[in-house]
């Protein structure tokens, strides 16, 4: 993918430079459209290839395989991967432990240089990586580009922040002493990313771990292992030593649990469902023989996110924000809006505008750049359809509600909207993780805030109003980790919107923020008497 027509000429920023978010691709530009189509053709020619486990730099094959499928065309195999089992956990751990001895003592500048080189490689091949995301998880072009840009942002941001952390100092120098403060790596960590941002979250958690001197056992989602394998290829090209990142696709019930429970595992970075996150947290809390530390869990576990529309809101702006937040990537974002809470004076008109706007959305193969692509797999499709049936009993179906049949058997769903949903209904409380939006009517702003806070989650939220007093109250009382005023509740930008939630949304580990790298380190104070 190194031909000039398919690469960008952006040069990597130096670690001394000021961080800036990666620009998005303008797909309205004819050249970008041509580049994306050429990248899709290139990636299509590479579909179905087999990828090895990589443990300690060695490539291994297993009898059992994981086949990553294109959710728009399930008969199309994106990649064939080796399936790590519990028997591979010890081998991966020993490789990571051995690599930790030298990697933890590698100068931070060297680690930073490697991550920045990886960012530069990805930037040069951005259309290709967008194409992989389109084929493997069904992202349309803009959603794939957002994932890609966030990947670069994480690598660039964490590299600079690692230098800042390495330059830490004590707040004061005690008289008669030389006082120092170091942030040292924890050890070997398990990185368990999700399928919905299989590039950005996977690469971000991995980069945060290794740039601070840790080594990693990476277990990507079985729905998206190919993009992770491509990232490992980038790290190898950038010069990553063997054993620093060990690539081990596998079952969560076997390999995943074995790594989480291993006494030498120092931390687990996980993004995914509440159920799995809590199970990981519980397993990590049980100490094993010869375990000499309390394992650290860094968890992001989803949300049930609300947008509150006040009677004085700009309804055109609010409709655009709700639709983008609810149906971008078919609602398969932990930050997605699944509840619009609307004040009674504008409820009817807002409901009608949502219905009209949703009717304009197109659903189809993401390679053709429709608004909505498929949901990730057959299990997800069945689960969402079951929630839709529940919704028919709880409210009024005003848009969508059906799966779409295609000759290729893709997992497509219409964007679906239910009106007149009660605040405590199933549709208002459960994380559906699909293109389903519940509309909830409230009589006042105060009631709207109470409803916004009535779930077990606390990830993202938004409010549309021109009233400064209401915004100020929401700033204090709307209990979410990422709150937005007069804009959508998705699309957190690295650096500007450190991302992570409250309550059952996770451990409030703010990815892309100034506190994140500290989660992968431990502080050591040294005092020398003069």
- CB atoms closer than 10 angstroms to residue 496: 10
Q: Say whether 130 is catalytic.
A: no
User: Rg (Cα) of the chain, in Å, rounded?
Assistant: 23
Annotated catalytic residue, options 130, 248, 334, 337:
334
What residue spans of 445-503 are helical by DSSP H? Answer: 445-452, 468-477
DSSP classification of residue 481: S
Q: What's the token pair of residue 107?
A: 């100068």
The Cα–Cα gap between 195 and 470 comes to 37
300 in active site: yes
* Secondary structure E strands in 16-85: 49-51, 53-55, 58-60, 65-70, 73-82
Give the separation between CA 74 and CA 55, rounded to whole angstroms. Answer: 30
Residues 6+ apart with CB under 8 A from 283: 257, 260, 261
The active-site residue out of 150, 156, 300, 431 is 300
- CA torsion sign, 288 to 189 to 240 to 136? positive
- Angle between helical axes of 108-124 and 126-137 (0-180°, round to 10): 80
Let me know: does 433 contact 331? Beta carbons within 8 Å: yes
The per-residue DSSP string of 247-272 comes to E--B-IIIIIHHHHH-TTEEEEEEES
Element (H, E) at 312: none
Tell me, what DSSP letter sits at residue 513?
S
Catalytic site residues?
A: 300, 334
């Amino acid at each position: 993918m190194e031909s000039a027509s398919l690469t960008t000429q952006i040069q990597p920023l130096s670690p001394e430079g000021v961080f800036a978010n990666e620009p998005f691709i303008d797909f309205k530009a004819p050249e970008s459209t041509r580049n994306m189509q050429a990248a899709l053709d290139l990636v299509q020619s590479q579909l179905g290839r087999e990828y090895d486990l990589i443990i300690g730099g060695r490539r291994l094959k297993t009898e059992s395989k994981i086949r990553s499928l294109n959710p728009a065309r399930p008969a199309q195999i994106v990649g064939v991967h080796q399936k790590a089992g519990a028997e591979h956990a010890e081998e991966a751990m020993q490789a990571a432990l051995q690599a930790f001895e030298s990697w933890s003592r590698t100068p931070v500048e060297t680690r930073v240089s490697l991550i920045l080189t990886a960012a530069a490689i990805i930037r040069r091949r951005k259309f290709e990586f967008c194409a992989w995301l389109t084929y493997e998880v069904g992202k349309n072009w803009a959603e794939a580009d957002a994932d890609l840009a966030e990947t670069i942002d994480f690598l660039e941001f964490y590299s600079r922040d690692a230098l800042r952390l390495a330059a830490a100092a004590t707040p004061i120098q005690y008289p008669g002493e030389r006082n120092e403060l170091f942030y040292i790596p924890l050890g070997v960590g398990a990185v368990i990313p999700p399928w919905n941002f299989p590039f950005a979250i996977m690469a971000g958690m991995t980069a945060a771990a290794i740039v601070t001197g840790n080594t990693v056992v990476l277990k990507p989602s079985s729905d998206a292992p190919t993009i992770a394998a491509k990232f490992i290829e980038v790290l190898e090209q950038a010069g990553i030593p063997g054993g620093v990142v060990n690539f081990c696709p596998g079952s969560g019930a076997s390999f995943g649990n074995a790594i989480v429970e291993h006494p030498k595992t120092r931390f687990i970075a996980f993004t995914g469902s509440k159920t799995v996150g809590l199970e990981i947290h519980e397993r990590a809390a049980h100490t094993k023989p010869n375990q000499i530390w309390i394992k650290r869990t860094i968890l992001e576990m989803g949300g049930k996110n609300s947008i509150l529309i006040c009677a004085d809101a700009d309804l055109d702006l609010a409709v655009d924000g709700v639709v983008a937040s609810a149906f971008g990537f078919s609602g398969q974002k932990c930050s997605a809006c699944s509840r619009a809470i609307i004040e009674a004076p504008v409820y009817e008109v807002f409901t009608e505008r949502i219905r009209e706007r949703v009717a304009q959305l197109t659903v189809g193969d993401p390679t053709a750049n429709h608004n909505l692509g498929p949901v990730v797999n057959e299990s997800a499709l069945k689960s969402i359809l079951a929630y839709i049936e529940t919704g028919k009993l709880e409210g009024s179906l005003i848009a969508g509600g059906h799966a779409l049949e295609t000759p290729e058997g893709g997992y497509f769903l219409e964007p679906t909207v239910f009106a007149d949903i009660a605040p405590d209904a199933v549709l208002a409380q459960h994380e559906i993780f699909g293109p389903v939006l519940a509309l909830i009517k409230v009589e006042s702003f105060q009631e709207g805030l109470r409803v916004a806070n009535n779930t077990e989650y606390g990830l993202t939220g938004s409010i549309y109003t021109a009233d400064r007093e209401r915004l100020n109250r929401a700033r204090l009382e709307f209990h979410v980790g990422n709150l937005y005023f007069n804009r959508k509740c998705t699309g957190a930008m690295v650096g500007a919107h450190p991302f992570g939630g409250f309550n059952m949304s996770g451990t409030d580990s703010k990815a892309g923020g100034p506190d994140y790298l500290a989660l992968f380190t431990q502080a050591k104070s040294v005092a020398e008497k003069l």
